Amino acid sequence: MSAFLRVGFVAVVVGALGSLAVWLTPSWFPVAAAVQAQRQDTLYFWLMVMSSFIFALVLVFLVYMMVKFRAKPGDDSDGPPIHGHTGLEIVWTVIPIVIVLGFAIYGAAALGRNEALAKDRLIVDVRGQQFAWTFTYPSYGGLKTGILALPVGRQVEFRISAVEHDVIHSFFIPAFRLKQDAVPGVPQKMIATPDRIGTYMVTCAELCGIGHSQMRTVLHVMSPPDFAAWIVAQKKAASQPAGGGNTDPAALFSSNCGSCHTFQPANATGTVGPDLDNLAADAAKYGAGQSPEDYVKESIADPGKVVVSGYPAGVMPSTFGTSLTAAQIDALVKYLLKGGS
């Protein structure tokens, strides 16, 4: 048996061992919470098997040659003048073609299944803006929320958009292995079928400005009864006048403000906007004779009017004046100025 075949044999064995190691490694992946995630993980797994094999093959040959064919000191000879080998060249052209074609077809099939639409799918509108996500449930009376909840086992179609004058965001749920850019002016959609109850991270994957890394919220995948109850609670909160549960300032803060501002009582550590633990001092400094309450109220409704030095203008959305009710703003103002007590 020639040296080439012997090394080739060893390389194939090592490659197979590498693939086996991939096979036996228990947890490559984070939690998967959607049918699509499992398809992706399977695909990824086979890619890993193939790659480990090829990587091991290349490495075995490389290391063997570096050791075995290394020139002895003072050896000025040349190697044999081998210019090529048609058979070998055909082999390493054809086998890769087969491998990549196989994966491309597999990938296309998986994509088709991932995006196949179910009739009873739930529609959720996702809207991105610097630096928050807003979710609307058109089939539940247009309920608007800052956190996402989904019933397990039912396909969801996310209709993703970004505020017109805003920038591109990317709606990313790692546990679903899915993301889709939210593009100003071009509506998008994304299909997911949650299959595991739990709480997961929702984040922005496309650089969207200084608050990019803070643009996070959570996803609760719930059993259908829990989801129905959640919808009812949210609706009740939204429809109730001032003084109801929807004016709970701590909840309002964490869904609207906490990703960008630091505020110890709410355990918020955002650094995009000014530190609200110093709010009273800032109000005195920038308020220009206004009462602190008026200053804070104005800053929520029209954040561009006065900008704390050291922070850029135009970052905080100017939509809170309309997206929050007057009662909610009052509750927030009180909460912020009292330091959360």
Partner 1 sequence: MVAHAHEMTGPVHHEHGGGGPRRSVWLRGSWVRAIWVSAFMGIAAGLIVMGIRDLSGRTPYSAGVVQTFVMLFGGIGFTVGIGCWDYWWSYVLGRPTPEHEDHSNHGAYTWKDYFKVNTDHKVIGVQYLVTTFIFFMIAGLLAELMRAELATPGQQYFAPGTFNGLFSVHAALMIFLFVIPAFAGLGNFVIPIMIGAQDMAFPRLNALSFWMLPVAGMCMVSSFLVGPFDAGWTNYVPLAVHGPAGQTMWVMGVQFAGASSIATAVNFLVTIVTMRAPGMTFWRMPLLVWANLATSTLVVLGTPFIAGAQFQVLFDRIMHTHFYDPTHGGNVIAYQHIFWFYSHPAVYIMMLPGFGIISEVISIHSRKPIFGYKLIAISTVAIGVLGFTVWAHHMFVSGMAPWLRIPMMFTTMAIAVPTGIKMFSWLATMWRGVIHLRTPMLFACGFLATFVVGGLSGIFLAVIPVDIATSDTYFVVAHIHYVLFGGSVFTIYAGIYHWFPKMTGKMYDEGLGKLHFWLTFVAFNATFMPMHWLGLQGMQRRIADYPSQFGTLNFFISIMAFILGASTLVFLYNMAHSWWRGEPAPANPWRALTLEWQVTSPPPIFNFDEPPQIVGSPYAYGVPGARHAVVTVHAPPQPEEVPVPVALATATREEREAIMSALKHILVVANQTVSGDRLIAAVRSRAATDPVRVTVICPQNDPTDAWVVDEADVRAATQARLDSTLAALRRAGIECTGYVVERDPYTAVMDVVEEDPPSEIVVSTLPQTRSGWLRRDLIERLRDGTNLPVEHVVSDAPEMPRR
Among 141, 245, 312, 339, binds partner 1 (CB under 8 A): 312
Least distance to partner 1 from the beta carbon of 108, Å? Answer: 5
Using rule CB under 8 A, residue 301 touches partner 1: no
Using rule CB under 8 A, residue 155 touches partner 1: no
Task: Give the x/- contact pattern for partner 1 in 218-257, rule: CB under 8 A.
Answer: ----------------------------------------
Structure tokens at 107: 């990938």
Angstrom CA distances, 226 to 32, 196, 252, stand at: 21, 14, 22
Using rule CB under 8 A, residue 217 touches partner 1: no
Our CB check for partner 1 shows the closer of 42 and 240 to be 42
Least distance to partner 1 from the beta carbon of 79, Å? Answer: 4
Instruction: Give the Cα separation of 93 and 107 in Å (integer).
Output: 21
**Contacting partner 1 within 22-81 (CB under 8 A):** 28-30, 36-37, 39-40, 43-44, 47, 51, 54-55, 58-59, 61-62, 65-66, 69-71, 75-81
Close Cβ partners of 157 (under 8 Å, ≥ 6 residues apart) = 117, 121, 122, 123, 124, 189, 190, 191
Position 199: which residue type?
T
Our CB check for partner 1 shows the closer of 60 and 329 to be 60
Q: For Cα atoms 229, 230, 235, give the angle at the middle one, nearest 5 degrees.
A: 100
Strands 122-129 and 156-162 turn out to be parallel
Using rule CB under 8 A, residue 111 touches partner 1: yes
What's phi and psi for 176, nearest 5 deg? -95, -10
Instruction: Give the Cα separation of 60 and 15 in Å (integer).
Output: 9
Least distance to partner 1 from the beta carbon of 162, Å? Answer: 9
